[in-house]
Structure 1
Amino acid sequence: MLRWIGAIILVATPAFAGDALTGPVKVLDGDTLELQGRLVDLYGIDAPEAEQVCAMADESRYRCGQKAAAALRERIGTTSVSCLPQGGATQDRLTAVCHLGETDLSAWMVVHGHAIALRDGMGGYLAKQTHAWGRRVGLWAGVFDEPASWRRARLRAEPATGVKP
């Protein structure tokens, strides 16, 4: 009887808990992919949002979120990506280390200045960010709000959409 219960639990356990997902992806933004119908957040990084605007050193403005997504889209092309979930997965969304061949896509985004490393230091991306900052590439070539700060400011600025009595 216990064997049957164990077998039922194994069958009922979602496969997303730690299994790698591989296949073609759709780039949704600079740190989010769609793979096999699921949203995949690239592990250890945060990229500007699609609507986010940044400034170059000469003060010219550009849509850094769109640029980050375009860079990731161009890097991946039509090649299959392999993503290994890092915990915290739900039925529809997960955080994963994703590779294009041998290339860690999170590291690639940080090295090229299209995303920032999360401060928890996971994945070794902070050292790569320091290198990108030193070379003044991507976001580091100008001035930008950290994506999380930009999102918070945008939420505070949006008016409430409550129902009037």
Structure 2
Amino acid sequence: MAIEFRLNGETVTLDVEPDMPLLWAIREKAGLTGTKFGCGIALCGACTVHLDGTPVRSCSLPVETVAGSDVTTIEGGSGTAFAAIQTAWRELDVVQCGYCQSGQIMSAAALLTENPEPSDADIDDAMSGNLCRCATYHRIRKAIHRASDLMKETADA
């Protein structure tokens, strides 16, 4: 079955089974491997993408449900929040093994887009579904605060 949607700003038509998880359609059919497979049951967050601007777990989302929608993967992330997050992640050396980071970044970008000055509680709530085997949670939280500061600096410039 042909499923049409916008992937990172480009209209794509993928010939896939309608119940194929979006994750596998993105990775295997569209060739974008930045979105990772973690648990397969939408609990770890490694597969997080944005669906019409909202973070979702792509491993358990049938591709047919995104027909006509906008899907953004880590490869397509752009804008002020993404730029600030990338800078903060590098400055604070957030990544250890890196496997979970695309999902972490996608969730953080959604948070900062919605709430550019989050509290620790806001960050903990928004990031609670993203697991990190290396336990870099304190660096992730610090980097989200730093990204918020960078966004303010950019806006003030």
Q: TM-score, normalised by structure 2?
A: 0.29
Q: Which has the larger radius of gyration?
A: 1
Bigger fraction of residues in strand: 1
Q: TM-score, normalised by structure 1?
A: 0.28
Bigger fraction of residues in helix: 2
